[in-house]
Structure 1
Amino acid sequence: MARIAVIGAGTGAMAAAARLAVAGHRVVVYERTETYGGAVRRFERDGFSFDTGPGLLPLPAVYRDLFVKTGKEPLESCVELVQVDPSARHVFADGTEVQLPNASRAGVVAALDEALGSGAGQRWGDFLVRAREAWDRTRRPLLEEPLWPNWSVLADREPYPSVPHKRLLRTRRATTLAEVGAWELRDPRLAALLESHALAHGLDPRTAPASAAVLPYLEHAFGTWYVRGGIRELARAVYERCVARKVEFVFGAEVTAVLEKDGRAAGVELADGTVAEADLVVAGVAPEVLDRVARRTAVRGGGGVPPQRGLPSRMTVLLALREGRPQGTAHRTVVHTPDREGELEFLFGPDHLMTGGPTVTVLRPDDPGMVPDAEHEAITLTAVFPAGHPEPEAVERYTDAMLAAADQAVPDLRDRLLWREVRTPADIAEATGSEGGAVPAPALAAGGGSLLHPANTTGIPGLFTVGGWSHPGGGLPHAGMSGALVAGLIVEGPEFRGSR
């Protein structure tokens, strides 16, 4: 039995802790804040309740596997999962709307043909077939195995089977997601639908590799799910599973150093001077935090894969409304920006100058537990925003722009509004410790490895990394997968190659 110190109580760290405890190790989690969950938080006021992190759960099989492997109670005994249908309503810049059914290719094709014109659905359906091929080629090495030592194979090889595109005397194939949209989908609304999946993860579709096609495919193939009571309930369930497996949590305990002995990780030192010895250390923290506590740069292994830098953050607006949620309302509506280039330059350009409105996701859960009574509604707006600490004036302008976009999804929004609460990148930074509140993206193949993440092993023997800033990257499913990979590397050793 090894003594294992875990830094941070995010979902990936807790997933690793639960698995390691079941394997017979003594696990202690040290969390800087006063609660668990990392970015998966909850805000409550006047009987209203909101998720301030992720609002929906893709690929719930990851957490089903966690609960099967760590106890007799399955995930559905601990939380109530609800499949969201329609998966999303999309409002495009020209006013066209479409509702896409959940996990139904035929239904999606029919809906797009009806809304966008004959042939649009077929083009999207054909794209999904190609996206599935990219998924099949990358699923295991990117998600289910430790990062390959020869990871450059993943970096250089584009798994998406682009369609040849003839232009003048040249034949080209799409190498970026934006080119896939322009050359293969051939409709600005379909392109906006495609690009919104990358944008939701903070990726610039103009530079994101074509392999980012797996993001809409993942949602299409495995559906979109809501956790009754909010995604915070999933974090609660994982935390309680850890406690049931005798994982110890120490909150308000900031780790200031990873201790070393004989060239190996040997424990952690806390801000109050307390020293906790350990045989192994698992760090679920942002790259800059790890570099600081490990007291050396380039501590991560990964065969040379650097941590992702320069990623944007999120702006979240929580809305308390009078009057109940209308019958038949879509859980999720994506209102697409009328100024694509302006939005992308604001988010990814050097000056972050906002010239147009953002793409806004509007979440309207049908959940009595999130409101004081049936005569009220809780709505969450989210949009990508540059990482950093924005000035109050910038926050106010962006909030107003988000509300203006949300008016297209909730026409009577202003008249029903009781109050609003804004969560900025600074709030994400406080909750997670990431620089400027940056949010990690999932790992993707190709693109020269720019969207890979460092391996879960590091340059210090006995020190492992877990969570969104490590292989296989950001997002709730990926965080859960990282927990499984770290547990496998510790329990089975460096020869571990993932579960079969």
Structure 2
Amino acid sequence: MARIAVIGAGMGAMAAAARLAVAGHRVAVYERTETYGGVLRRRERDGFSFDTGPGLFTLPAVYRDLFVKTGREPLEECVDLVQVDPSSRHVFADGTRVSLPNASRAGVVAALGEALGPDAGRRWGDFLVRAREAWDRSRRPLLEEPLWPNWQVLAEREPYPAVPHKRLLRTRRAGTLAEVGSWELRDPRLVALLESHALAYGLDPRGTPASAAVLPYMEHAFGTWYVRGGMRELARAVYERCVARKVEFHFGAEVSGVLEEDGRVAGVELRDGTVGEADHVVAGVDPHRLELMTGHPLYGDGDVRPDPTERRPGRFTVLLALRGPRESGAAHRTVVHAPDRTAELDFLTARAGTPVRPTVTVLRPDDPALAPDAEHESVVLSATVPQGAQWDGGETGERFADLLVEAAEAAVPGLRGRVLWREVHTPGAFGEETGAGFGGIPAPALAAGRGRFLRPANTTPLPGLYRVGGWSHPGGGLPHAGMSGALVAGLIVEGPEFRGSQ
């Protein structure tokens, strides 16, 4: 039985902790805040409840597997897991609206064909076929296996089978997500639909590889899911599974250093000087913080390294307490697309400048647990914003919140007249909760793009030290966090020969 110290109580860290405890190890989790869950936070006020992190997720099979492997009770006995239908409603810049059914390629194609025209539906259907091929080519190495030592193969090989495009007597294939939209989808509304999946992670489609086509494919193929009571309930269930497996949790326990002895980890040191001895350390923190904890570089020659100058875009959220009931037929999620795509992308990548009206996601769960009674409603608005703008402590944040509310009126009739109160959650507040630098959003790992969209391996050059969570392989997102926990547990239990689930 090995002693294992886990830094952080995020979803990836807890997934690893539960699996390791079932394997017979003694596991202690050290969390600097007073609660668990990482990005899955909840805000409660006056009988209203809000998810301040992700409000939906895909690939529930990741967490079903976690619960099967760590106990008798399956996931569905621990949370009320439901498919959201429609999966999303979209309001495009020209006012066109379309509702997309959940987990139905044929249904999505039919809905787009009816709203945007038969050619648009056919082009999206053809795109999904190619996106599935990209998924089949990249799924295992990017999600189910530890990062390959020869990861350069993933960096150089584009799995998306782009359609040849003739331009100025030359034949080219799309290399970026923006080119996929421009050359293969053509309709600006389909382009907005495609690119919204990248924008949700702060990715600029103009520089994001075509392999990001897997992001909308995952949603269409595996569905969009919600946990009644709020997504925080998923974190509660994973935490309780850890406790049931005898994982020890220490809250308010900030790790300041990773201890070494004879060239390998020996435990962790807390800010108050307390030492937790360990044979293995699993770190669910961003790579820059982890290097500070060890005091030396954690990347060997040829390793995937994070860009030290990268400042990931963050999530700006507005919580709305509304008077009046949720109307019949309201969609759980509505995406109101930006009126000016180029202006939005330029603002997102410029890190400063005058805010423009962004693509806004409006979440209106049909969940009585989130409001004090049936005559009120809880609504969450969110948008992706650049690092560098002064969101906290000034007028910029409030003015930007006004832009989100203005956009959301396309999804919530009479919205501004229904507002009882609102709260603004900035990227800085998100960073304080999660420990992510500047509140940045980690994106899922993607193939191609010269390796810029891969995340550092779960192993490190320091024996016994492992990375877990969204800032490590296989990247950000709730499913990916759960997968990182499974990979780290496999590497510790089976050793470096572990090659992932079969």
Pair in the same fold by TM > 0.5: yes
Residue type at the aligned position of 1:172: R
Residue type at the aligned position of 2:287: P
Residue type at the aligned position of 2:327: P
Q: TM-score, normalised by structure 1?
A: 0.98
Matches within 5 A, 1:317-396: 317-349=318-350, 351-354=351-354, 356-387=356-387, 390-391=391-392, 392-396=394-398
Aligned with 1:179: secondary structure? helix
Q: Given the alignment of the two structures, is residue 462 of structure 1 paired with residue 459 of structure 2, yes or no?
A: no
- Structure 1 residue runs of 5 or longer lacking an equivalent are none
Residue 304 of structure 1 and its aligned partner are, at CA, apart by: 1.8
Residue 172 of structure 1 and its aligned partner are, at CA, apart by: 0.7
- Structure 2 residue runs of 5 or longer lacking an equivalent are none
Residue 289 of structure 1 and its aligned partner are, at CA, apart by: 1.2
Give the match for residue 305 of structure 1.
304
Q: Report the Cα distance in structure 2 between the residues aligned to 1:463 and 1:104, rounded to whole angstroms.
A: 42
Give the match for residue 176 of structure 1.
176
Give the match for residue 278 of structure 2.
278
Aligned with 1:243: secondary structure? helix
Are the equivalent residues in 2 in contact too, given 1:342–1:355 (CA < 8 A)? Answer: no
Aligned with 2:233: secondary structure? helix
Residue 355 of structure 1 and its aligned partner are, at CA, apart by: 5.4
Residue-by-residue CA offset, 1:323-381 (whole Å, 9 max, x unaligned): 111111110000000011111111112x5223531000000000000010000000000
Give the match for residue 67 of structure 1.
67
Q: Report the Cα distance in structure 2 between the residues aligned to 1:333 and 1:45, rounded to whole angstroms.
A: 24
Q: Report the Cα distance in structure 2 between the residues aligned to 1:284 and 1:83, rounded to whole angstroms.
A: 29
Matches within 5 A, 1:238-317: 238-297=238-297, 299-300=298-299, 303-307=302-306, 309-317=310-318
Residue type at the aligned position of 1:431: E
Q: Report the Cα distance in structure 1 between the residues aligned to 2:399 and 2:203, rounded to whole angstroms.
A: 23
Q: Report the Cα distance in structure 1 between the residues aligned to 2:306 and 2:473, rounded to whole angstroms.
A: 10
Q: Report the Cα distance in structure 1 between the residues aligned to 2:477 and 2:300, rounded to whole angstroms.
A: 22
Aligned with 2:322: secondary structure? strand
Are the equivalent residues in 1 in contact too, given 2:355–2:400 (CA < 8 A)? Answer: no
Give the match for residue 485 of structure 1.
487
Residue-by-residue CA offset, 1:441-466 (whole Å, 9 max, x unaligned): 00000000111000000121000010
RMSD of aligned Cα (Å) = 1.0
Q: TM-score, normalised by structure 2?
A: 0.98
Residue-by-residue CA offset, 1:222-266 (whole Å, 9 max, x unaligned): 000010011100000000000000000000000000000000000
Q: Report the Cα distance in structure 2 between the residues aligned to 1:393 and 1:468, rounded to whole angstroms.
A: 31
Residues 292 and 311 (structure 1 numbering): CA distance in 2 closer, same or farther, change over 3 Å?
Answer: same
Residue 301 of structure 1 and its aligned partner are, at CA, apart by: 5.5
Q: Report the Cα distance in structure 2 between the residues aligned to 1:249 and 1:105, rounded to whole angstroms.
A: 43
Residue 300 of structure 1 and its aligned partner are, at CA, apart by: 4.2
Give the match for residue 452 of structure 1.
454
Residue-by-residue CA offset, 1:69-111 (whole Å, 9 max, x unaligned): 0000000000001100001000000000100111111111111
Residue-by-residue CA offset, 1:255-287 (whole Å, 9 max, x unaligned): 000000000000000011011111110000012
Residue 393 of structure 1 and its aligned partner are, at CA, apart by: 1.6
More off after superposition, 462-471 vs 407-416: 407-416
Give the match for residue 38 of structure 1.
38
Residue-by-residue CA offset, 1:401-430 (whole Å, 9 max, x unaligned): 111110111121011110001111111111
Residue type at the aligned position of 1:324: P
Q: Report the Cα distance in structure 2 between the residues aligned to 1:348 and 1:480, rounded to whole angstroms.
A: 29
Aligned with 2:118: secondary structure? coil
Residue 10 of structure 1 and its aligned partner are, at CA, apart by: 0.2
**Residue identity (%):** 75
Give the match for residue 500 of structure 2.
498
More off after superposition, 115-124 vs 127-136: 115-124
Give the match for residue 193 of structure 1.
193
Are the equivalent residues in 2 in contact too, given 1:314–1:382 (CA < 8 A)? Answer: yes
Are the equivalent residues in 2 in contact too, given 1:176–1:209 (CA < 8 A)? Answer: yes
Aligned with 1:374: secondary structure? coil
Give the match for residue 401 of structure 1.
403
Q: Report the Cα distance in structure 1 between the residues aligned to 2:404 and 2:39, rounded to whole angstroms.
A: 21
Matches within 5 A, 1:68-217: 68-217=68-217
